[in-house]
Amino acid sequence: MAKKKNDNTAEIGFEEQIWKAADKLRGNIDASEYKNVVLGLIFLKYISDKFDQKHQELVDEGEGFEEDRDEYLAENIFFVPENARWNVIAAAAHTPEVGKVIDEAMRSIESENDKLKNILPKNFARQELDKRRLGEVVDLFT
């Protein structure tokens, strides 16, 4: 829930993390590009968290439906393939392949969710994006 800061702004609760993420990227890419990296990762983290929450509920039910796409779609939760889940992204955070792992995660999510076809950013593996700093941003959101 947003907290009222003053008449013109509200705090949404994670401004500090967003600022820290932009700070990590400073000097590595143009400031106008921060949003593309940060918002893509926030989206990936958000849908992964929602998926994990429902996944755990399904595991607890014990019916074996935890990998059934329709169980998630019925509750308007994006199905997140195993290679696109945040724990996989976080595990790759300190490897030179982190950008490729994120790009592949985005492709996998698009292939499983028709509403997201050709929408998600897939430019995390580009050469000008320092993979160490990208990994630090992943750590920040983890």
Whole-model pTM over 0.85: no
Between CA 137 and CA 17 the distance in angstroms is: 9
- Render pLDDT for 90-142 as a digit per residue (tens, 0 to 9): 999 999 999 999 999 999 999 999 999 999 999 999 998 889 989 998 998 88
In which band, very low, low, confident or very high, does the pLDDT at 11 lie, cut at 50, 70 and 90? low
- Render pLDDT for 44-64 as a digit per residue (tens, 0 to 9): 999 999 999 999 999 999 999
Q: For 24, what's the count of Cα atoms within 13 Å in the CB-facing half-sphere?
A: 22
Does the domain at 32-141 match CATH 3.40.640.10? Answer given as no
Angle among Cα 87, 116, 140 to the nearest 5 degrees reads: 30
